Amino acid sequence: METTMQKYFHWGAIGSLVTLIVWCVLWEMVLAPLKPGGSWLVLKAAPLLLPLYGVWKRDIYTLQWTSMMILLYFTEGVVRGWSDIGSLSSWLGWGEAAVVCVYFVCAVLYLRPYKRAAKKMARELLDKVKVNTVK
């Protein structure tokens, strides 16, 4: 049973993932491409399409691994925000890093109750094993 906050975090994760996909495509095709007319760097948005269905369906495993994978996009955003010469491209890099932070926080906070439940079950199982082996 999901709480209201978990629903908000789930929708926040979906929204920020879709925003990041659109952000990457617009950045590399329209707003500030490396080459005029767009660049092949737009393909960086393709890996973000893979977990979209799993995030939509609330798949715990997908949310776990994407919370780590998304940090690559955070790194790219910070590096390009810091080093790009064009002011628009620099701002887009910092914006990408901000959207990634939103996804990361939403995914981790959505997964928090599941992680607690898993730890509790593991602790109970270990206690049960200890009781059975001590006898």
Q: Residue type for 14, please?
A: I
When pLDDT is averaged across residues 4-10 and rounded to a whole number, the result is: 93
Sign of the dihedral defined by the CA atoms of residues 31, 49, 95, 77, in that order: negative
Instruction: Tell me the whole-structure pTM to 2 decimals.
Output: 0.86
The verdict on 106 and 53 lying in the same domain is yes
The verdict on 4 and 50 lying in the same domain is no
pLDDT in tens, 52-100: 999 999 999 999 999 999 999 999 999 999 998 878 999 999 999 999 9
Residue 14 sits in which domain range? Answer: 1-31
Structural domain count of the chain: 2
The verdict on 57 and 108 lying in the same domain is yes
Q: Worst-scoring range by mean pLDDT, 29-33, 59-63, 122-126, 130-134?
A: 130-134
Name the phi and psi angles at 57, rounded to 5: -85, 5
The verdict on 20 and 66 lying in the same domain is no
The verdict on 70 and 21 lying in the same domain is no
* C-alpha to C-alpha distance for 101 and 38, rounded to whole angstroms: 26
